Structure 1
Amino acid sequence: MRRAGALTVTTAAAVLCLSSGCGVPPSGVIEVGEPATGMTLSKAVYFLDAESSLHAVARPKIPDTNPVAAAVRELLAGPTPTESEYLTTALPPDLPQPEITVGTATILIRFPKGTPRLTPAALHQLTCTTTLATPRTPRPTPPSGAAAAPQQSPPTIHITIPNTPSPTPNACP
Structure 2
Amino acid sequence: MRGSRVAALLGGLTAALTLAACGVPPSDVIQAGEPASGMFSPSAKPQVPTVIPFYFLHNGDLTPYPRKIGNPQDFVTVVRLLFDGPTTSEAATATSKLPRLADTPDVTIERDHTVSIQLPKGVPPLSRLAMRQLACTVAHVTLPSPALPADANRDGAPAAPPANAPRLRSRTNVHVLGDGWTMTQSDSSCPDTPRP
Gaps in structure 1 of 5+ consecutive residues: 1-40, 138-151
Q: Report if aligned partners of 1:45, 1:75 keep a CA contact under 8 Å in 2.
A: yes
CA distance in 2, matches of 1:74, 1:129: 11
Identity %: 29
Moved over 6 A (4+): none
Partner amino acid for 1:162? D
Which of residues 110, 124, 128 is equivalent to 2:132? 124
1:102 matches 2:109: yes
Task: Give the CA deviation at 1:172.
Answer: 1.0
TM-score by length of 2: 0.51
1:172 matches 2:190: yes
Task: Give the CA deviation at 1:167.
Answer: 4.0
Q: CA RMSD in A?
A: 2.7
Structure 2 partner of 1:79: 86
Which of residues 67, 91, 96 is equivalent to 2:74? 67
Once the two structures are superposed, residues 122-159 of structure 1 have per-residue CA deviations (whole angstroms, 9 ceiling, x without a partner) of 1111121122224287xxxxxxxxxxxxxx86443321
Correspondence 1:31-42 to 2 at 5 A: none
Q: Report if aligned partners of 1:42, 1:132 keep a CA contact under 8 Å in 2.
A: no
Once the two structures are superposed, residues 46-97 of structure 1 have per-residue CA deviations (whole angstroms, 9 ceiling, x without a partner) of 11011x2111111112413x42112111211211112111111011233542
CA distance in 2, matches of 1:82, 1:97: 23
Which has the greater radius of gyration?
2
1:168–1:70 Cα change, 3 Å: closer
Aligned residues, how many?
Answer: 117
Higher relative contact order (CA closer than 8 Å, sequence separation 6+): 1
TM-score by length of 1: 0.57
Correspondence 1:1-173 to 2 at 5 A: 43-50=52-59, 52-64=60-72, 66-94=73-101, 96-105=103-112, 106-135=114-143, 154-164=171-181, 166-167=183-184, 169=186, 171-173=189-191
Structure 1 partner of 2:18: none
Gaps in structure 2 of 5+ consecutive residues: 1-49, 146-168, 192-196
Q: Report if aligned partners of 1:76, 1:95 keep a CA contact under 8 Å in 2.
A: no
Structure 1 partner of 2:14: none
SS of the residue corresponding to residue 69 of structure 2 reads coil
CA distance in 1, matches of 2:142, 2:118: 16
1:62–1:117 Cα change, 3 Å: farther
Task: Give the CA deviation at 1:166.
Answer: 1.9
